[in-house]
Amino acid sequence: MKTRRLGKTGYDVSEIGLGCWQLGGDFGPVGDETASEILDAANDAGVTFWDTADVYGGGLSESRIGAHEKAAGVHVATKLGRGSGLFPDNYSKDGVRASLVASAERLGVASLDLAQLHCVPTEVLRDGQIFGWMDELKAEGLVRHWGASVETIKEGLICLEQPGCATLQIIFNLFRQDAAKALLPKAAERDVGIIVRLPLASGLLSGKYDKATRFDESDHRSYNADGQAFSVGETFSGIPFERGVELVGELRGLAPEALPMSQFALRWILDHPQVSTIIAGVSKPEQLADNVAASGQKSLFPALMGQLSEWYEKDVKPEVRGGI
Ligand SMILES: NC(=O)c1ccc[n+]([C@@H]2O[C@H](COP(=O)([O-])OP(=O)(O)OC[C@H]3O[C@@H](n4cnc5c(N)ncnc54)[C@H](OP(=O)(O)O)[C@@H]3O)[C@@H](O)[C@H]2O)c1
């Protein structure tokens, strides 16, 4: 597994990381045994960056990670700001501290490796007070580093102005390419580590679904398919599901024949050198090995990267809902 430096944290992390929203049961039920097998598989494969949040399964994802023996060098990032009564307009330094203390307890650590603001409203980012609290909580030792997970490029640019911001988590994939030009160069300039979420557009880009696919009612791909519960951009990257299936059909015609679709999608992201790590979400242990294999694949040819960019601008971008 190849590693990359995670911005100002200085951590050396695997370029394929692990998204742990699934361990909270928001992609359909995941039992204790499967959760443990996924974390074992991550340890075995050298996946050393794990992403979770206080709200995933109401703390279940963090508790499962906390209870699991981690291989040396694993860094666990969590998030705050959507739970603990903070969202949408009740943010305070004490509230943020209490949320982080609870996360640290569930994760079984005294100090968090990385705490990320979790899609807090744009006005809260604009106001900026919350960044000062994060600097202070870092100085207190509760967090080693802090960063932000954002929904739009505009929000990302606000965070990049903060000297204390070590990492930025963004949606970036073949269905959401704008950050390549609008954000990544500036992040690199500021030495802010880029963490990529939704690399497979909630699984769509793996190519395994068809228009008849249905998801469990406990799965956000069922209850938030059109943004009924939270930002539509967080589910299928904001692309209407059936249109997404058609677009994946178009992509198949562009992908190198020997490359599985999932690895093609991950390789495209890795071919942006400003990306530090991709937190691919996994609901079955066998998916992990497939995702990790993308790290060993050859880079895509520049001509193909150009074609994919043109295809995105013309066929995909007009379909994205929820803001870019
Ligand atoms: N606001 C935020 O900060 C925020 C929001 C969303 C996500 N995240 C983080 O980002 C992580 C990644 O995003 P995501 O999980 O939403 O989307 P994702 O990584 O694009 O998609 C995950 C889904 O893709 C499928 N999959 C994964 N590997 C596969 C493979 N090799 N072959 C076939 N299918 C595969 C699985 O679907 P099936 O379950 O159908 O098998 C899996 O549940 C999350 O786990 C979470 O940690 C953060």
CATH of the domain at 264: 3.20.20.100
Please choose, from the candidates 126, 125, 153, the residue with its C-alpha nearest in 3D space to the C-alpha of residue 323. Answer: 153
Q: How sure is the predictor about 290, in pLDDT bands with cuts at 50, 70 and 90?
A: very high
Within a domain: residue 182?
yes
Model pLDDT for residues 117-137, shown as the tens digit of each residue? 999 999 999 999 999 999 999
Is residue 280 in contact with ligand 1, taking CB distance under 6 Å? Answer: yes
Probe target for ligand 1 pocket from 119, 172, 198, with the most ligand atoms within 8 Å of CB? 198
Q: Report how far residue 33's alpha carbon sits from residue 224's, in angstroms, rounded to the nearest whole number.
A: 27
Distances (CA, A) of 112 to 115, 146, 191: 7, 9, 20
Model pLDDT for residues 84-96, shown as the tens digit of each residue? 999 999 999 999 9
Model pLDDT for residues 3-61, shown as the tens digit of each residue? 999 999 999 999 999 999 999 999 999 999 999 999 999 999 999 999 999 999 999 99
Within a domain: residue 49?
yes
Within a domain: residue 324?
no
| Helix pair angle (60-67, 32-45), 10° resolution | 60
Is residue 201 in contact with ligand 1, taking CB distance under 6 Å? Answer: yes
Number of domains the chain is built from: 1
The pLDDT, as a whole number, for residue 19 is 98
Q: Report how far residue 298's alpha carbon sits from residue 255's, in angstroms, rounded to the nearest whole number.
A: 13
Task: Tell me the CA–centroid distance for residue 322 and ligand 1, in Å.
Answer: 18
The pLDDT, as a whole number, for residue 97 is 98
The terminus-to-terminus CA distance of the chain in angstroms comes to 31
Q: Report how far residue 250's alpha carbon sits from residue 244's, in angstroms, rounded to the nearest whole number.
A: 10
Within a domain: residue 74?
yes
The pLDDT, as a whole number, for residue 33 is 97
Q: What number of other Cβ atoms are within 10 A of residue 191's Cβ?
A: 12
The pLDDT, as a whole number, for residue 197 is 98
The pLDDT, as a whole number, for residue 118 is 98
Within a domain: residue 129?
yes
Give all strands (DSSP E) within 39-95, no chain letters.
Answer: 49-51, 75-80
Task: Tell me the CA–centroid distance for residue 281 and ligand 1, in Å.
Answer: 3
Task: Tell me the CA–centroid distance for residue 7 and ligand 1, in Å.
Answer: 23
The pLDDT, as a whole number, for residue 233 is 97
The pLDDT, as a whole number, for residue 50 is 98
Nearest residue by C-alpha to atom 36 in ligand 1: 203
Within a domain: residue 188?
yes
The stretch 149-169 carries a mean pLDDT of: 98
Task: Tell me the CA–centroid distance for residue 52 and ligand 1, in Å.
Answer: 12
The pLDDT, as a whole number, for residue 164 is 98
The pLDDT, as a whole number, for residue 25 is 93
Give the distance, in angstroms, between the CA of residue 108 and the centroid of all CA atoms in the same chain.
22
The stretch 307-317 carries a mean pLDDT of: 98
Q: How sure is the predictor about 252, in pLDDT bands with cuts at 50, 70 and 90?
A: very high
Is residue 14 in contact with ligand 1, taking CB distance under 6 Å? Answer: no
The pLDDT, as a whole number, for residue 303 is 98
Probe target for ligand 1 pocket from 47, 197, 208, with the most ligand atoms within 8 Å of CB? 197
H-type alpha helices, 70-150? 93-107, 122-127, 129-140
Domain that holds residue 308: 3-319
The pLDDT, as a whole number, for residue 300 is 98
Task: Tell me the CA–centroid distance for residue 159 and ligand 1, in Å.
Answer: 24
